[in-house]
Structure 1
Amino acid sequence: MKRAVLYLITAYGSVFPFFVDLSRPEDVLNHTCNFYLNTEKGVSVGVWHTLPASQWEDAAGKGPEWYQETLGDGHPVIIYLHGNVGTRWDESIWFLISVLQILSAAGYHVLSLDYRGFGDSTGEPSEAGLTSDALHLYQWVKKQSRGGLVCLWGHSLGSGVATNTAVKVQEQGEFNLFHVFFQMYRFLPGIHGLLWDILEINNIEFANDQNLKALTSPLLILHAEDDNVVPYHMGLKVQPLYQISLQTKREHNTDAQVEMISYGANLGLSHSNIYLDPNLSNVVGKFLQNLRQ
């Protein structure tokens, strides 16, 4: 079975949910547990693990050790990487919860990570540090899943974390095929607001465009034509950019495809509501199934 990295990349604003105890995901999500990983000396990151919905009865009263064992049950695992002002709880009130419920119902494990300096994770954020946290979690999950399908799903800032991590995994030769859902944030006009200036001060840039030139994965772009944050014409620029990347990888005998799914403005999905597409789980499932053949 092929291994892969999946990352859906979008960009949007968010709020921090101060009222949520991040150590108690069961207060807001079913069949979900909290645990912490030490990614390096002095850095502990928080993670939520949401099970496939079919296992909700078995999960009653179980702890992190039991949840960890389930990662080897053959179900695909998706690592969710949030944006610049989000946490593993939610970065746009109900967006993440809706995505987690969709993926869980479709039979996926979902692990939501708070990088160092985010949520209740310790340490100071930096581009190298955030990438290191995601890479550590990926490698930990891959070991627990015993060779199963492990994917990265990044939003906004998480898109950069995902592509940085994917490049490092590819360089290490740990898997031979990526799986990508992508909308770029680095090309956004006016992106350098206060929060992004703070990120730049900490040398957090994440060159998604350069990372894409190095990756050899299949690419699926999900983009709404009425997106008021990522203009539609900017989404279209991704396809030729990635085709150039694939051209340079043909010597590696890759058969990776680039596809774009556009949602008409009449659907009113805008920037953050593609999860309302009733066919979303089928779209994700089809891509992942192709990797398992």
Structure 2
Amino acid sequence: MDSQNSKSKKGKRNTREGKENIASKGTVLRYFQEHIPHFLFTAKITTLTLFLIYIGIPIFVRSNPWIMPRVVFANLLRWPPFVNLSSPADFGLVNARHFFLDVEDDVRIGAWHVLPKSMHEERGLVPLDSFEKELKNGKKVFLYLHGNSGTRGSHHRVQLYKLLASLDFHVITIDYRGYGDSSGTPSEEGVVKDSYFIYKWLKQRIGDTKIFLWGHSLGTGVTTKLAKILCNEGDHPAGIVLESPFNNMIDAATHHPFSLPFRMLPWFDWIFLKSLGEQGIYFKSDESILSVTPHIMILHAEDDLIVPFDLGQKLYLKAKATRTAYTKNVEFVAFKGDLGYGHKLIYQAPEMGDIVRQFIQKCENSD
């Protein structure tokens, strides 16, 4: 009797479990039926996104090689927007002048001249028409060449001008052609030509004053190539500072965050890197630096996500290995990643003033 009851209960339990399974399957089926439109929409968006990233963009870039200079120079990205570059005072720059220089018939570049801090403390505001004359006052000059995107008025750049001026240097900076209030379209040859022009303009006005070059990011490629040209002419700058530099444009483009989705593609080199060469964009700093004879200081933060720290080290090692009896020393100043300086904020380092002063002293001692 007990055996029959047990079988009866087991049968009822199996029947109940079977009904529950059927009900559960029905619920799952109804869920998928109800959400099929959502699943299909998600699948379509995912497929379209992958197509655009891995098919559409590469095809567009390869068939429109003119796009690569726009990406590299990023001169159309201006932040903050709608700024008045003709008024350096709006950026907190005291005793600063805005002016233009005609590099070519159709290229006029905007520039700023920031006077050394001691001049403001001793004499107050200096008349604008006296700025050029003051370049001969014996205070050293830094020619600053900025990186891509933005203008000479970008916040991190302005803060560096203030630092250098506080150390009692003249600061001259420009917007290359196509940037800021400068006319024209940027190219490697063009931005180097603009830098060469302002350097020679300075040389005609400074007397025996020394000029130091300071390049940041893309500007390190400009600075190194400019320094090579000048050294080959026998017109040596007093010293070179390269902040967050790369060794060459191919490596910089390969390791840039924007290239991350495409690096795995078998045609990455052909589509993206070859296009750079076809547009004349090389910035081979690791080759140019071999001809740079003055003292060189490289500054790089370990947490730089735009130009990896390793690329700065590669440039340093190449320069270090190729110094000769006719070239001055090269040094590498690293900043720990936990300081948070990244790509643009090295100027915030409390020791920057001392670092610059020591660099100037080393340059003078090696003369």
> Shared fold by TM > 0.5?
yes
- Superposition deviation, residue 59 in structure 1: 5.3
Partner amino acid for 2:215? G
1:148 is paired with a residue whose SS is coil
Unaligned runs of 5+ in 2: 1-71, 260-271
Work out which structure has the larger RCO, using CA pairs closer than 8 Å and 6 or more positions apart in sequence: 1
Note if contact 1:223-1:263 (Cα within 8 Å) is conserved in structure 2. yes
In terms of Rg, which structure is larger? 2
Question: Which of these residues, 320, 323, 328, is aligned with residue 243 of structure 1?
Answer: 320
Q: By percentage of residues, which structure has more helix?
A: 2
Partner amino acid for 2:125? A
Partner amino acid for 2:224? T
Aligned-partner Cα distance in 2 for 1:202–1:85: 18
Describe how 1:43-122 pairs up with structure 2 within 5 A.
43-56=107-120, 58=123, 60=125, 62-63=127-128, 65-90=129-154, 94-122=155-183
Query: Which residue matches 1:217?
Result: 294
User: What is the number of equivalent residue pairs in this alignment?
Assistant: 273
1:159-191 Cα offsets, whole Å, 9 max, x none, are: 121111111111111127643435433333343
Distance change (3 Å), C-alpha of 1:143 and 1:49: same
2:152 is paired with a residue whose SS is coil
Query: Which residue matches 1:5?
Result: none
Partner amino acid for 1:209? D
Unaligned runs of 5+ in 1: 1-10
Note if contact 1:182-1:219 (Cα within 8 Å) is conserved in structure 2. no
2:219 is paired with a residue whose SS is helix
Partner amino acid for 1:131? V
Q: Normalising to structure 1: TM-score of the pair?
A: 0.83
Query: Which residue matches 1:135?
Result: 196
1:40-66 Cα offsets, whole Å, 9 max, x none, are: 222211101111111225352621x31
1:251-275 Cα offsets, whole Å, 9 max, x none, are: x3x3x22222222233232222211
Note if contact 1:46-1:114 (Cα within 8 Å) is conserved in structure 2. yes
2:220 is paired with a residue whose SS is helix
Aligned-partner Cα distance in 1 for 2:139–2:307: 32
1:18 is paired with a residue whose SS is coil
Q: Does 1:288 align with 2:360?
A: yes
Question: Which of these residues, 80, 84, 88, is aligned with residue 17 of structure 1?
Answer: 80
Query: Which residue matches 2:342?
Result: 270
Distance change (3 Å), C-alpha of 1:232 and 1:12: farther
Q: Normalising to structure 2: TM-score of the pair?
A: 0.67
- Percent of pairs identical after alignment? 33
Question: Which of these residues, 333, 351, 361, is aligned with residue 261 of structure 1?
Answer: 333
Note if contact 2:110-2:174 (Cα within 8 Å) is conserved in structure 1. yes
Distance change (3 Å), C-alpha of 1:88 and 1:130: same
